[in-house]
Amino acid sequence: MVFSSVTFLFVFLPVTLLLYYIVPKRCRNLVLLLMSLVFYAWGEPVYVILMLYSILLNYGMGRLMDSLRHRKKAVLVFTVILNLFILGFFKYYGFVLENINALTGLQLPVRKISLPIGISFYTFQALSYIIDLYRGKFRAQKNLISFACYITMFPQLIAGPIVRYEDIERQLSVRSFSMERFGFGAMRFIFGLAKKVLLANLIGALFDTVHAAGADVSVLTAWLGALAYTFQIYFDFSGYSDMAIGLGQMLGFSFMENFRDPYAAKSVTDFWRRWHISLGTWFREYVYIPLGGNRVSAAKHVRNILVVWALTGLWHGASWNFVIWGLYYGLLLLFDKYVWQKLRVPGFITRVLTLLMLVIGWVIFSADSLTGVVTSLTSMFGFAARGLYDGDGLYYLRTYLPLLVLEVIFCLPFVRRVRMFFMKNGYLQAFLYLFTLALLFVSVSFLVTQNYNPFLYFRF
Amino acid sequence: MTNETERPAAEEPVQGAVQEKIEEVVAIQETVPQVTVVTEAAPHEPPPEDPRPRRVPAWKKPEYRFIFRLTALALILALLAVAAAYLILPDKAYSASEKRMLTGPPSLTLDSLASGRFMDEIEDYAADQFPLRDFWMKAKTTFFRVMNMRESQGVYLLSNGGLAERFDTPDEQNFTETTDAVRAFSERYPETPMYFLLAPTAVSMLEDLLPKDAVTESQDAYIERLFATLPEGIRPIDVRAAFRSADDPASLYYRTDHHWTTKGALFAYTTAKAVMGIDSDVTFSGGVASNSFRGSLTGKSGFTVDPPDELTIYLPENAPSTFLYTVNYPDELRKTASVYDLDSLVSDDPYTVFFGSNHPLIEIDTTADTDRTLLVIKDSYANSFIPFALTEFARIVLLDPRYYYDDIDVLMKAESFTDVLFLYNVNTLAADTSLKVVLTNIQ
């Protein structure tokens, strides 16, 4: 089930909230667990079993590790390998076999395994638990329901943020509820819903049109397509994170922020402090720093960065596109650290170049294949089949101009400052309130009649 | 489960207190910034209470109390209102504005649950039975118009509020194969005069009403290319000049549907008469048969159009009083004395008032005082066109290649028609792959 659907909003959510708040506080984790299983089973009835297996594995190994004085490391290694094996099998099996076939000329039969939704997210959550438990950051969770609740919690089950156990341990046992907190979460949820339904889906239609045209585009059209995807992926994903965080607050949880105005980044390095923060944090904590981080020789640091970014790319999907996309960022980050920062280029120029690099990054990310990447990039940089601009490009520009302006505005950090300004003043608060309701209203009108509601982060 | 859930560190006597006590402690700690950073907890000690510094959460600030409470209230009321409406309002079977059946409650079986089909059906059901669905659709159309976004699913919103379907780039190979088949067919029957009426659609005839620079292939170019391929035995019937010079070209197409209006068909018939050498003084007068016609394009695009279209039926004013005809539908073994199926006027597709719906073959025999007989190879545009021609032919056979699976040469030899008319609209012909199959059908 996705948040931006009538079924979630008007059937699942009211039932869940009603049950959650009428039962005594001590039963709320159980309600949350059961409803999360329903939520997951909605899209993946069979894979619920896989998720339950993952829960039992990590819960049991956690308890075992806690009871041992020695050999904790063996338990850790075993559990991590098992987790990675599950993820690897369901996500990368086909990819690996195809590549083996291509390299060796073998004809190993490749069976298509449908990807269990959210497996990349919940596996990483489970890994954060078992690794930090080994590091002694906390004691093992003895309550199976609380632990299962952590793994399955429906607000962040499908598309993050990747909540580390460390951050949420206390909230699993004690959390505060209030109407104000619920309203705070509701507002966040509505903003996220509007981002997804209005900003992401509408501009996504432009990307799809350009994407379908393939190489038969002008330079103008190619750029419009690339920009459309740049906006779509941000509003899609950050909207989903907003909804997750908002729902969390409505249920009494505080999740970490996942996005902080990424397109206002001062550099590529800065961008990755602002984009999908929970994933970046995860890789830093559990891969980059254990490898030695940047406190090693330059050569090792380069290796560390490239390893982390190849893995980050691969995490996004089993395809070479994503690996190249990850390495692209790895190289950019190294270039930024070892070359660019020493040149003392004016900040303005760095910002503009950063945005350019991001758009190119999304072209790599969004293409179906490596040839698709080449086609799009050559079209963008002057070698388009239809010249500099054509009637189609002008039409798309004209049609989508108001929307593009809106998308740009809502990427800027000053929007938050405007919102705070409105929050501070009693009268302006009323406007903000009405605006929130209007967003809910328009978003619902789109959900009811939606014929276009893709969900980009379902693949991960 | 519960004891451990609520009391994280039961060993600690202080925290073994009642639930509410803990919450108070937490509440205080959430407001007090802490700076101690504990990275490693010693074994067998309770976990540190939130080690990071923390600001006062927004929901605890008194100045925000109202707006957050009101937001909570608004969302809860909205959720409850819709949930209640689902329960109270009866299910609707049909959406008139979208022209489609709405999904009913799915049946729950173990099989449909395990496969996920039940969930898909629930999603459709919930979306289709959403309270005040038409109202929400209108809200969305308004939003699109305000944003100046006038295209959805290949359908353009015209500046007069009507809809027009885009003409997509035709497939080259299919064009060649189709025109080759037409030419070969004509050459098999050199004695039979043939005609080709290729009707433009609203997207080119009403191009002034399209959004500026709207992306659509040129129907003019397509029509001219097709006419250029026709052999001598087939005379083109070009209605574009007549349509463009009409007082109100917009009235020649439905605003909600991809067909031409009956008036558009009459304009086309007037042009066709001259080319086909029909010398007739029969005149027609129209009357509105339905004023609630919502055509295929509203459903396809999701744009609402208000008010709905009128559907007009034209009857001959001065046909001979002895003129009679019968319509035979061989596929249904049914005969009627009218080309009109009046029951269709209240159905989901009033356009089917002409001949009911699409049939592979329709045979019309008339008492017209002539030897001319006509074979029409056609799409649905012909359905509103043919009623005008009834008085001019002794027998008219309508053949729809999309549904016709018999041998056309057998039909040609058995009937020996005096005239053959191809009648298509550009959008259908460009996408059609059945005409070439039927014309070259050698069994």
Judged against a pLDDT cut of 60, whether residue B14 lies above it is answered with: no
Is the CB of B13 inside 8 Å of chain A's CB atoms? no
Indicate if B253 and B367 belong to the same structural domain.
yes
- Partner-chain contact B127 A182, CB within 8 Å: no
Judged against a pLDDT cut of 80, whether residue A455 lies above it is answered with: no
Judged against a pLDDT cut of 60, whether residue B39 lies above it is answered with: no
Residue type, B178: T
- Partner-chain contact B140 A445, CB within 8 Å: yes
ipTM: 0.81
Q: Look at residues B372, B389, B386, B370 and name the one whose alpha carbon lies nearest to residue B423.
A: B386
Lowest mean pLDDT: which of A282-286, B91-95, B188-192?
Answer: B91-95
pLDDT tens across A46-97, in order?
888 999 999 999 999 999 988 888 888 888 999 999 999 998 888 888 888 8
Tell me what the mean pLDDT of segment A199-213 comes to. 87
Is the CB of A14 inside 8 Å of chain B's CB atoms? yes
Tell me what the mean pLDDT of segment B176-193 comes to. 92
Tell me what the mean pLDDT of segment B344-366 comes to. 86
Q: Is residue B89 part of a domain?
A: no
Indicate if B171 and B123 belong to the same structural domain.
no
Tell me what the mean pLDDT of segment A151-159 comes to. 87
Judged against a pLDDT cut of 70, whether residue B269 lies above it is answered with: yes
| pLDDT level of residue B310 (50, 70, 90 thresholds) | very high
Confirm whether A211 is a catalytic residue.
no
| pLDDT level of residue B141 (50, 70, 90 thresholds) | confident
Question: Which residue among B40, B59, B66 places its CB closest to the CB of A184?
Answer: B59
Q: What whole-number percentage of chain A has pLDDT above 70?
A: 98
pLDDT tens across A364-415, in order?
998 888 888 888 888 888 787 778 788 788 888 888 888 899 999 999 988 8
- Where does B97-171 have alpha helices with state H? 110-115, 117-128, 133-146
Indicate if B112 and B197 belong to the same structural domain.
no
Judged against a pLDDT cut of 80, whether residue B95 lies above it is answered with: no
Is the CB of A171 inside 8 Å of chain B's CB atoms? no
Judged against a pLDDT cut of 50, whether residue A130 lies above it is answered with: yes
pLDDT for position A118: 85
pLDDT for position B442: 55
Q: Which of residues 254-293 of A touch B (CB under 8 A)?
A: 254
Indicate if B108 and B226 belong to the same structural domain.
no
Interface contacts A/B by beta carbons within 8 Å: 214
- Partner-chain contact B7 A184, CB within 8 Å: no
| Boundaries of every domain in chain A | 6-175, 181-459
Indicate if B206 and B315 belong to the same structural domain.
yes
Domain span at residue B118?
94-131
Lowest mean pLDDT: which of A21-25, B61-65, B116-120?
Answer: B116-120
| pLDDT level of residue B42 (50, 70, 90 thresholds) | very low
Buried b / exposed e over A83-104, threshold 16 CB at 10 Å, is beebbeebbbeebeeeeeeeee
Indicate if B253 and B112 belong to the same structural domain.
no
Look at residue B196 and give its three-state secondary structure.
Answer: strand
Q: Which of residues 63-92 of B touch A (CB under 8 A)?
A: 63-76, 78-80, 82-83, 86
Domain count, chain B: 3
| pLDDT level of residue A174 (50, 70, 90 thresholds) | confident
Minimum distance, in Å, between the CA of residue A210 and any CA atom of chain B? 12
Q: Give the residue from B131, B146, B181 where a domain finishes.
A: B131
CA end-to-end span of chain B, whole Å?
76
User: Which of A458 and A247 is assigned the larger pLDDT?
Assistant: A247
pLDDT for position A85: 92
| pLDDT level of residue B32 (50, 70, 90 thresholds) | very low
Question: Which residue among B65, B76, B86 places its CB closest to the CB of A180?
Answer: B65
Show the tokens assigned to B130: 């959403």
Question: Which residue among A11, A187, A394 places its CB closest to the CB of B71?
Answer: A187
- Partner-chain contact B8 A174, CB within 8 Å: yes
Distance separating alpha carbons of residues A188 and A58, to the nearest angstrom = 32
Judged against a pLDDT cut of 90, whether residue B311 lies above it is answered with: yes
Minimum distance, in Å, between the CA of residue B171 and any CA atom of chain A? 15
Indicate if B366 and B432 belong to the same structural domain.
yes
Q: Which residues pair with B285 in a beta bridge?
A: B315
Q: Is residue B272 part of a domain?
A: yes
Distance separating alpha carbons of residues A317 and A90, to the nearest angstrom = 11
Closest-approach residue (CA) in chain A for B48: A138
Indicate if B114 and B240 belong to the same structural domain.
no
User: Which of B16 and A118 is assigned the larger pLDDT?
Assistant: A118
Show the tokens assigned to A270: 């800065």
Please say whether the beta carbons of B15 and B9 come within 8 A. yes
Judged against a pLDDT cut of 70, whether residue B412 lies above it is answered with: yes
- Where does B230-295 have alpha helices with state H? 240-244, 262-276
Question: Which residue among A5, A174, A449 places its CB closest to the CB of B140?
Answer: A449
Look at residue B243 and give its three-state secondary structure.
Answer: helix
CA angle A100, A102, A104 (to 5 degrees): 65
Q: Is residue B387 part of a domain?
A: yes
Q: Which residues pair with B377 in a beta bridge?
A: B399, B422
pLDDT tens across B212-235, in order?
777 778 899 999 999 999 999 999
Buried b / exposed e over A17-30, threshold 16 CB at 10 Å, is bebbeeeebebbbb
Judged against a pLDDT cut of 50, whether residue B38 lies above it is answered with: no
Judged against a pLDDT cut of 90, whether residue A41 lies above it is answered with: no
Indicate if B28 and B127 belong to the same structural domain.
no
Q: Is residue B99 part of a domain?
A: yes
What pTM was estimated for this model as a whole?
0.77
Is the CB of A382 inside 8 Å of chain B's CB atoms? no
